[in-house]
Amino acid sequence: MNVETMLEDLKALVEVESPSGDLDAVSASAKTVAAIIENRMGGHATLIDSAAGPHVHWTGGGQPKVLLLGHHDTVFPLGTLARRPFNVQDGRVTGPGVFDMLTGLVQAVHAVASLEDRSGVEILMTADEETGSSTSRALIEERARACGAALVFEGAAEGGALKTGRKGCGTFIVTVTGKAAHAGLEPETGINALVEAAHLVLDIAELNRPEAGTTVTPTLVTAGTMDNVVPAKATISADVRVASAAEQQRVQAAFAALTPHLPGARITVHGSIERPPLTEAMSASLFAIAQQLLPGLEGTSVGGGSDGNFTGALGIPTLDGLGAVGGGAHADHEYALTQPMTERATLAAGLVRALQYGSQSAPV
């Protein structure tokens, strides 16, 4: 492995541009991912069509033992590249998607390419992680069950730490239905959906339990049509993060049990915690091997979700954050450090070998 070759592949991916939901762009990105895999490892990378664009799957054959998981869609709209082109300078690589998570994708491919024996290894790079993985979740879970272990190549945490835990996350939408009326002539005949929403925002905020790792944050409220009309409708969006299955159940039940405060007001609740928590227990065995391979390596739990949440919730050993060391995910200052790229690919290769041969320790 050498960083120049890895940067060559990274440049090819970044310059395709792959905003989630743009089917033409994501399709072009998938073809580029497949070409890089086939160029580095041979064999055939399969494009699996979906409503979100193609997912890319490659297998080294034999009994499945380890799934290398990532995504090739990014959050940046077409045209970002012209404003922020791929660039390598002073040990940093910049460009749309380099941290989340195209560098990780390249590291995964080069890790497997460095192995003489690739049997039992599968790579899956999906097309819709940034928008919730609705078309890829079933495929992710199917391949993770078949393989029995998952290595996730999202960017590392601050300081290069692996992500040994992730909170479950989701969005709830509460819709309030009231009754319109003239705000000056007869407001008393209306049912003010905005006032009801104000009560509910406070109820929702009370679901917070930071001591248990739970955050419930009302993030957006919309209501009304004109300033002289009693609002007949309001909506509340709330971001939810939970660290345990018990808290997931509590919060979901609490949203389902919300009741209106104003007579005649009606409420409906949509949404759920789509990504269940990835607990540290599901990362422990793989993280122990990683620490043997790279002494001094740290792990941490983070608030954001990934497709590793799905695999961990199945009871499948999962280790996340094996991708880029850098920062600025989803922001214009996004970057990846070039120096750790080969080191992290070598770490991933060691983890793959341990899983291929059933070792509970780092390969010699």
Question: In this structure, what CATH number is given to the domain that contains residue 113?
Answer: 3.40.630.10
Examine residue 101 and say whether the peptide bond preceding it is cis (omega within 30 degrees of 0): yes
Q: Is residue 67 part of a domain?
A: yes
Residue that terminates a domain, selected from 275, 294, 328 = 275
Give residue 108's pLDDT band: very low, low, confident or very high (50, 70, 90): very high
Same domain? For 197 and 283 the reply is no
pLDDT digits 0-9 by tens, 189-241:
999 999 999 999 999 999 999 999 999 999 999 999 999 999 999 999 999 99
- Look at residue 197 and tell me if it is in a domain: yes
pLDDT of 71 reads: 98
- Do 296 and 176 lie in a common domain? no
Q: Supply the pLDDT for residue 312.
A: 96
Which domain CATH number covers 208? Answer: 3.30.70.360
Q: What is the mean pLDDT of residues 162-170?
A: 97
Interval 138-161: pLDDT, tens: 999 999 999 999 999 999 999 999
Structure confidence at residue 358 (pLDDT): 86
For residues 190 and 243, state if they share a domain: yes
Domain end marker among 275, 306, 330: 275
Indicate the pLDDT class of residue 264, thresholds 50, 70 and 90.
Answer: very high
Number of domain units in the chain: 2
Is there a contact between 237 and 216 (Cβ–Cβ < 8 Å)? no
- Judge whether 239 lies within some domain: yes
pLDDT of residue 94: 98
Are 149 and 45 within one domain? yes
- Please give the pLDDT value at position 1: 83
User: Containing domain of residue 187, as a range?
Assistant: 168-275
The average pLDDT across 350-361 equals 87
For the chain, what is the mean pLDDT?
96
Whether residue 107 is predicted with pLDDT greater than 70 in this model: the reply is: yes
161 shares its domain with 28: yes
Q: Are residues 37 and 124 in the same domain?
A: yes
Burial of 358 (0-12, 13-18, 19+ CB in 10 A): exposed
Q: How confident is the model over 169-182, as a mean pLDDT?
A: 98
| Residues 157 and 16 grouped into a single domain | yes
143 touches 64 (CB < 8 A):
yes
What residues contact residue 358 under an 8 Å CB cut-off, 6+ apart? Answer: none
Answer yes or no: is 317 within a domain: yes
pTM across the whole model: 0.91
> Higher pLDDT residue, 100 or 1?
100
Asked if 45 contacts 55 with a C-beta cutoff of 8 angstroms, the reply is: no
- Residue at 364 is within a domain: no
Query: How confident is the model over 119-139, as a mean pLDDT?
Result: 97
Residue 78 shares a structural domain with residue 149: yes
> Looking at the structure, do residues 44 and 90 belong to the same domain, yes or no?
yes
Among 275, 299, 334, the domain boundary falls at 275
Task: Identify the pLDDT of residue 362.
Answer: 60
